[in-house]
């Protein structure tokens, strides 16, 4: 119930609902797109007793070690990089910094659920552009007057990516507002727009270390963009919470980014597992959207999606079901380890067999 | 230079400027009120290899272990506790949740510099109430129509605290808007208003683990209040960044809060050191404001404050100088270890001697 003590807008807020983090230990957790592999062994090395003792000191508010690691990886200048407490915080700052405009911003009707939440929080007008019938983003639909554009590449929860070429076509025509490409899942098979940052001053690329670098628990995200965009982002950040990336998170993130070999190896394993499980699911009669992410959106044909969700849970497997138009016939399954995927396929076989 | 890509308000933002975090290793760092003692040994124990491996998983977005530790410490219910990425994030959420009102909010003219920054970020009207001549907060000055009240107890950078009784008098008359007591430094000698939470539904108490629990590097803060206030705070948090307290930060915070003996021992040591150094400074001719915090605001009489700041830096000692009306004759000195304070007193003696 609202209270006289609340600011008016609080009553209307419709917060984001994260995927469940069940406390039960023996579950196969395929509901929040976490990485099945632990972070780089280098992360374990840097988070030692000496690092813990230094927790009495504030982090470096400019996070220059982390920005340097990211700039080196993407061959950019420090001034093209901003970091934050997960890509969620970066996105929240970016919505404030760029999207409070006269015209509505544009994003897909089916995408990361937080975009509408930020619009509610910051009182930003938006128009949702329907995905094509095959669930792909049609970027030509975004070539209209707007206060900004944001889309995820690959998109969530579909997993379907856009080519760099099609993104560049949009950037060539859309020069008056900021275009944010949310690349939370890009390392699992899509191509980063980081390489376009030097050419398009209105492009902001947002990434996270939660998925491909196995650091969901550390909350580190970053943005790549022109100095003019990064400056605005940091003005908002430093007016909100300058120290949001803590000492251990920064140290872990630097170690994870610097260990390129481990990162590439984990991504390759997940891509291979995705291919295997996609084939298995198709042979079981599921529609499987072509994914470039660490999850697959699948449609069962002989059982409803919510019922499949419930039955999998009875097999101690947690997946994600979205009770939303267009995707409520699907469930989203995170790509886990090979053993977890074998257990998933076995459970599905059992569930489908019982329904014959 | 502003850009067409920025939201209009960004140009007018005047971000907070944190105290310097110098990279030079051999400095005596007395500028940002960090604790000279490392976190509890229990913190080192919990941040082990197993904890690091689990970083692949998201934190618990409800942070129930941390809320439980805080609720136990203060003998409250879970529903009276919210946690965030440092008390800065909590304050940012609270300004949004409670202070976007028709009437201006009230806070002291000399206090934590971030309050005006939040007002700028969230477009909140405010009136600054002058401190009394002795630099104390006169709470009777706050008994007027307002959209909310916030003050720090003890106040920063003065270190002067308010009695619980005087806070209760304010709460008895100020029932229509939220009163936030920012207790970042309360554990060093002031009395927490936590005990009043059950009786005043409009009271929000905000604390941090950065100072008294030696976890500035972990970024953990919390709020205590009625369920109706906590609900609004969490609505804003979950519309912004639900996972902002990361896994290691939560584990460290729980261990630090549970180790009550270590916490009390560190606070007692700092209070004792503060007493010793205050006497030393007075005998050297400084005016020393009576501090209940882990810092002292001092006024040199035979040298200007900025010059003293510069000379101390040449002795590898960093303190804080605020180029602001009323306090620009003072410097703020964090209470360090006994050895650091001895080095400070020696340096001051040398500086003053050279000026004779």
Q: What is the mean pLDDT of residues A327-353?
A: 97
* pLDDT of A8: 93
CB contact under 8 A, B242 and A88: yes
Nearest CB among B55, B89, B92 relative to A217 is that of B55
Which residues on neighbouring strands pair with residue A255, listed in sequence order?
A: none
Positive or negative, the CA dihedral A137, A143, A147, A153 is positive
Q: Do the Cβ atoms of B3 and A228 come within 8 Å?
A: yes
**ipTM, interface predicted TM-score of the complex:** 0.96
**pLDDT, position B1:** 74
Q: What pLDDT is recorded for position B17? A: 85
Q: What is the mean predicted confidence (pLDDT) over B103-131? A: 97
Residues in B closer than 8 angstroms to A34, CB to CB, are: 56-58
Tell me whether residues A100 and B244 touch, CB distance under 8 A.
no
Listing DSSP states for A283-301 in one string gives: HTT-EE---SSSEEEEE-S
pLDDT level of residue B19 (50, 70, 90 thresholds) = confident
Query: Can you tell me whether residue B208 is helix, strand or coil?
Result: strand
Chain A positions touching B99 (Cβ under 8 A) are: 7
Q: Which of B231, B214, B212, B213 is nearest to B223 (CA)?
A: B231
pLDDT of B356 above 90: no
Fold agreement between B8-38+261-354 and B41-259:
no
Instruction: Kindly tell me if the per-residue pLDDT of A28 is higher than 90.
Output: yes
Taking 80 as the threshold, does the pLDDT of residue A114 lie above it? Answer: yes
Closest chain A residue to the Cα of B247, Cα to Cα? A217
Of residues B49, B55, B96, nearest to A252 (C-beta): B55
Which fold is adopted by the domain A8-38+261-354? 3.90.1150
* Cβ separation B55–A49 shorter than 8 A: no
Which residues make beta-bridge pairs with B152? B182
Indicate yes or no: CB of A99 within 8 angstroms of CB of B44. Answer: no
- Percent of chain A exceeding pLDDT 70 equals 100
Pull the structure tokens for residue A271.
């891509």
Percent of chain B with pLDDT over 90: 96
Nearest to B235 among A13, A100, A229 (CB): A13
pLDDT value, residue A19? 79
- How confident is the model over A35-49, as a mean pLDDT? 96
Mean pLDDT lowest among A321-325, B148-152, B344-348: A321-325
Q: Where are the domains of chain A?
A: 8-38+261-354, 42-259
Domain A42-259: which topology? 3.40.640
Contact between A219 and B7 using a beta-carbon 8 Å cutoff: no
Kindly report the nearest CA distance between residue A252 and chain B, in angstroms. Answer: 9
Closest-CA distance of chain A to residue B302, Å: 32
Res B50 pLDDT > 90: yes
**pLDDT reading at B24 higher than 90:** no
Inspect the interface and report whether the beta carbons of A57 and B217 lie closer than 8 Å.
yes
What are the φ/ψ torsions at residue A228 (nearest 5 degrees)? -70, -35
Does residue A318 contact residue A27 with C-beta atoms inside 8 Å?
Answer: yes
What are the φ/ψ torsions at residue B297 (nearest 5 degrees)?
-100, 120
B36-54 average pLDDT score? 95
Express each pLDDT in A258-307 by its tens digit.
Answer: 999 999 999 999 999 999 999 999 999 999 999 999 999 999 999 999 99
The answer to whether the Cβ–Cβ distance between A239 and B47 falls below 8 Å is: no
pLDDT > 90 in chain A, percent: 96
pLDDT in tens, A3-24: 999 999 999 999 998 878 887 8
- CB neighbours of residue B196 within 10 Å: 17
Q: Do A58 and B21 touch (CB under 8 A)?
A: yes
pLDDT at position B21 is 82
B153-165 average pLDDT score: 98
Query: Is residue A152 within 8 Å of A110, Cβ to Cβ?
Result: no
Model confidence band, residue A190 (pLDDT cutoffs 50, 70, 90): very high
CATH 3.40.50.300 fits B41-259, yes or no: no
Say yes or no to pLDDT of B22 above 90. no
CA distance A44 to chain B (A): 6
Q: What is the pLDDT of residue B2?
A: 82
Instruction: Name which of B56, B57, B87, B58 is nearest B70 in CA terms.
Output: B87
Task: For strands A317-318 and A28-29, give the pairing.
Answer: parallel
Q: Determine the Cα–Cα distance for residues B269 and B340; give it in Å rounded to an integer.
A: 13
Nearest-CA distance from B352 to chain A in Å?
A: 30
B37 neighbourhood in chain A, CB within 8 Å: 56
How many angstroms away from the CA of B112 is the closest CA of chain A?
13
Query: Which of A270, A273, A320 has the alpha carbon at shortest distance from A297?
Result: A320
> What residues does B294 pair with on adjacent strands?
none
Per-residue pLDDT of A53-65, as tens digits, reads 999 999 999 999 9
pLDDT at B45: 95
What's the gap in Å between the CA of B97 and the closest CA on chain A? 5
Q: Report the b/e string of A23-47 with b at 16+ CB within 10 A.
A: eeeeebbbbbbbbbbbbbebbbebb
Query: Would you say residue A355 has pLDDT above 90?
Result: no
Rounding to the nearest 10 degrees, give the CA dihedral for residues B113, B115, B118, B120.
-80
How many helical (H) and strand (E) elements, i.e. helices and strands, does chain A have? Answer: 12, 12
What value does the mean pLDDT of chain B take?
Answer: 96
Alpha helices in A100-239 (DSSP H): 114-122, 164-173, 227-238
Distances (CA, A) of A48 to B44, B49, B351: 8, 9, 40
Conformation bin of residue A228: beta by default, left when phi > 0, alpha when psi is -120 to 50: alpha
How sure is the predictor about A185, in pLDDT bands with cuts at 50, 70 and 90?
very high
Q: Is residue B356 classed exposed, middle or buried when 0-12, 13-18 and 19+ CB atoms within 10 A define those classes?
A: exposed
Whether residue A1 is predicted with pLDDT greater than 80 in this model: the reply is no
- What six digits make up the tokens of B286? 């400084």
Give the chain B residue nearest A116 (alpha carbons): B239
Reduced to 3 states, what is the DSSP secondary structure of residue B356?
coil
In whole angstroms, what is the distance from residue B99 CA to residue B122 CA?
9
Average pLDDT over residues A192-209: 98
Task: Pick the closest to residue A17 from A90, A114, A139 (CA basis).
Answer: A114
């Amino acid at each position: 119930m609202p209270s006289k003590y609340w600011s008016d807008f609080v009553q209307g807020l419709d917060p984001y609902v994260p995927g469940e983090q069940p406390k039960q230990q023996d579950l196969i957790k395929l509901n929040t797109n976490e990485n099945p592999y632990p972070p780089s062994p280098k992360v374990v090395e840097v988070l030692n007793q000496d690092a813990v003792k230094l927790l009495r000191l504030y982090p470096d508010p400019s996070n220059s070690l982390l920005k340097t690691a990211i700039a080196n990886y993407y061959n950019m200048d420090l001034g093209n990089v901003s970091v934050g407490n997960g890509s969620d915080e970066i996105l929240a700052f970016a919505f404030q910094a760029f999207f409070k405009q006269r015209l509505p911003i544009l994003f897909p009707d089916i995408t990361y659920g937080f975009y509408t939440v930020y619009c509610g929080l910051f009182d930003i007008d938006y128009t949702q552009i329907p995905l094509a019938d095959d669930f792909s983003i049609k970027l030509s639909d975004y070539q209209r007057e707007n206060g900004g554009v944001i889309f995820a590449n690959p998109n969530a929860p579909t997993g379907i990516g856009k080519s760099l070429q099609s993104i560049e076509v949009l950037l060539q025509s859309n020069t008056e507002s900021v275009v944010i490409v949310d690349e939370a899942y890009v390392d699992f098979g899509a191509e980063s727009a980081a390489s376009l940052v030097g050419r398009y001053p209105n492009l902001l690329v947002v990434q996270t270390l939660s998925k491909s670098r196995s650091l969901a628990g550390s909350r580190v995200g970053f943005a790549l963009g022109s100095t003019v965009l990064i400056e605005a982002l940091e003005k908002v950040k430093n007016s909100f919470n300058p120290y949001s990336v803590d000492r251990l998170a920064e140290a872990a993130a630097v170690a994870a980014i610097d260990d390129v070999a481990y990162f590439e190896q984990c991504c390759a394993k997940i891509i291979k597992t995705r291919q295997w499980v996609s084939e298995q699911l198709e042979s079981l009669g599921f529609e499987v959207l072509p994914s470039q992410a660490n999850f697959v959106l699948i449609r069962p044909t002989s059982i409803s999606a919510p019922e499949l969700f419930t039955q999998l849970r009875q097999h101690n497997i947690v997946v994600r079901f979205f009770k939303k138009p267009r995707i409520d016939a699907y469930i989203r399954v995170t790509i886990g380890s090979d053993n977890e995927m074998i257990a998933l396929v076995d459970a599905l076989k059992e569930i489908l067999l019982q329904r014959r």
